[in-house]
Amino acid sequence: MSDIVIFTMSTGGGHNEAARNLKNKYTEKGYDVSVVDAMEVVNPKMGDLVIDSYINMACKIPGAYGALYKTSNTKNVSKLVLKSLQAV
């Protein structure tokens, strides 16, 4: 069992890069670290849909993507995501 589990999502690559950097830093300090793609665990087919939707939205309708991104970074949404993760 890992000391630290880092959840990521393969949307664009930035999340995975951040997860790799965190893993490297914590591993250097002696922690056992696992990086998990959340959608691969929850539902791989849904993960494909989310990733494809993300790429299409970011490329074809960046204004809508920006609005969604801004909304998803609010405290209420963050609390909802955290609550969902705690239930797993």
pLDDT along the chain (88 residues), means of 10: 86 86 97 91 82 87 88 76 71
- Res 22: pLDDT: 97
Q: What is the pLDDT of residue 1?
A: 63
| pLDDT score of 46 | 82
The residue whose two tokens read 């970074």 is: 73
User: Tokens standing for 24?
Assistant: 């490297």
- Delimit the domains of the chain by residue range: 4-87
Q: What is the pLDDT of residue 3?
A: 93
Whether the predicted model's global pTM rises above the 0.85 cut: no
| Pair of tokens at residue 52 | 């494809």
Looking at residue 49, what is its pLDDT? 86
